[in-house]
Amino acid sequence: MTVNVGVIGVGMIGQDHIRRLTRVLSGARVSAVTDVDTGRAKSVGDGLPGEVRVHENGQDLITDDGVDAVVVTSWGPTHEEYVLASIAAGKQVFCEKPLATTREACERIVDAEVAAGRRLVMVGFMRRYDAGYRAMRDAVAAGDIGAPLMFHSAHRNPSVPPHYVSDMIINDTCVHDFEIARFLLDTEVVAARVLKPRQNSRASDHLTDPLLILLETASGALIDVEASINIGYGYDIRGEIVGESGTVELAESTPVVVKRDGRFGGRVPEDWRERFVRAYDAEFQEWLDAVAAGRSTGPSSWDGYAATVVCDAALEALRSGERVPVSLREKPDLY
Ligand code: NAI
Ligand code: ISE
């Protein structure tokens, strides 16, 4: 079966996902696109094979009979509306992170899915499909390093675009670290604190960069997340779990190490599209296969909700300088 996919928001990651749906993966075609920038939607649609409808808005795309499943790659604050509309239409929806930008919005999505009686939403937490993180999780689950005590995570972006506002360092960038910590340690976060080192002089005044976020978990393990969003040298994602009897950490992502003139070195990825290319491919292939088979898969609305609740607490901790407890509602049986 070929899944006809409609894409809402055809900016940077939307176009990258369209490329993989169209040229890399099997079992899909992009049948419709939309964007608030209608010129961009038309130009992306015109560049695709076959008949591609360019819709005026996301609601029209979702109810298009020629769309079997929806990809939401518009800006975070617009996700809730499109995810809710997809659930209402009974269509599977892949939503890029964050699921939604507030706890309340995520709760509305969870409630709608529970009322529908089946999982329809997959959230784009692609790190779960990265071979390195998977191997780390397997090592922990197999008991190779003993019970986890700490997870050190570093999230370094070379720079951020002009529309990047201050809260995004937490709810757009660190949301990945919070989410992968839950996946690796198989526990929930119970409190957050944020420390601010001296400001990076490369950062715009309206941004607080870097940050050090400390999370406590229900299992007693601690998580520290270093977020640097103007590090300049490249896109560098680091992670190490310290267990009672060993450690496991992500290897350098360079495919080769070059040694010459008394030195060795490798490539640092330019951005997330390069660093996580195989993870994005794997997450989308899994989603397409699940849609074709009429079943659900991947990070759920509950995972999206839990990650956003941690973001909310970290944002409050950033503003107040205090330790902020995190509490989740009761997990519905659906998840
Ligand atoms: P972008 O700004 O390049 O593209 C977003 C597009 O959505 C733009 O073309 C914009 O005009 C369109 N748009 C905004 N509001 C809309 C609306 N209401 N309806 C239809 N179109 C709308 O942003 P980017 O970087 O592509 O990010 C998009 C989403 O993907 C964000 O939620 C972001 O957090 C997520 N993302 C996830 C990544 C990952 O690693 N999983 C990487 C980059 C982005
Ligand atoms: C971007 O939206 C992503 O999701 C990337 O994975 C992340 O590294 C970056 O900081 C975000 O802005």
172-207 per-position pLDDT tens digit: 999 999 999 999 999 999 999 999 999 999 999 999
Residue 172 alpha carbon, nearest atom of ligand 1: 34
Kindly give the distance from the C-alpha atom of residue 171 to the centroid of ligand 2, in angstroms, as a whole number.
10
Task: Compute the distance from residue 125 Cα to the ligand 1 centre, in Å.
Answer: 14
Distance between CA atoms of residues 187 and 268, nearest Å? 31
For all residues of the chain together, what is the average pLDDT?
Answer: 97
Question: Which one of the ligands is nearest to 54 CA?
Answer: 1
* pLDDT number for residue 163: 87
Cβ–ligand 2 distance for 176 under 6 Å, the answer yes
Structure tokens given for 258 = 């070059």
Instruction: Please state the atom number of ligand 2 nearest to the C-alpha of residue 173.
Output: 10
Q: Is 283 in the pocket of ligand 2 (CB under 6 A)?
A: no
**Are 99 and 298 within 8 A, CB to CB?**
no
Comparing CA positions, the residue from 91, 125, 79 lying closest to residue 4 is 91
% of the chain at pLDDT higher than 90: 99
HSE (side-chain half, CA atoms, 13 Å) at 50: 11
Q: What is the C-alpha R_g of the chain?
A: 20
User: For 118-157, what is each residue's pLDDT tens digit?
Assistant: 999 999 999 999 999 999 999 999 999 999 999 999 999 9
Q: Which residue has 């997959």 as its token pair?
A: 122
Is 90 exceeded by the pLDDT of residue 213? yes
User: Is residue 220 pLDDT above 90, yes or no?
Assistant: yes
> How much is the pLDDT for 147?
98
- Kindly state if the Cβ of 173 falls inside 6 Å of ligand 2: yes
pLDDT per residue as tens digits for the range 157-167: 999 999 899 89
**pTM, entire model:** 0.97
The pLDDT tens digits of the residues spanning 252-264 come to 999 999 999 999 9
Sign of CA dihedral 112, 82, 97, 139: positive
Task: Indicate whether residue 272 lines ligand 2 (CB < 6 A).
Answer: yes
Q: Kindly give the distance from the C-alpha atom of residue 259 to the centroid of ligand 2, in angstroms, as a whole number.
A: 31
Atom of ligand 1 nearest to the CA of 79: 32
Nearest atom in ligand 2 to 272's CA: 6
DSSP string covering 63-78, please? H-TT-SEEEE-S-GGG
Q: Are the C-beta atoms of residues 106 and 40 closer than 8 Å to each other?
A: no
Distance CA 176, CA 161 (A): 18
Beta-carbon neighbour count of residue 293 at 10 Å? Answer: 10
pLDDT number for residue 158? 98
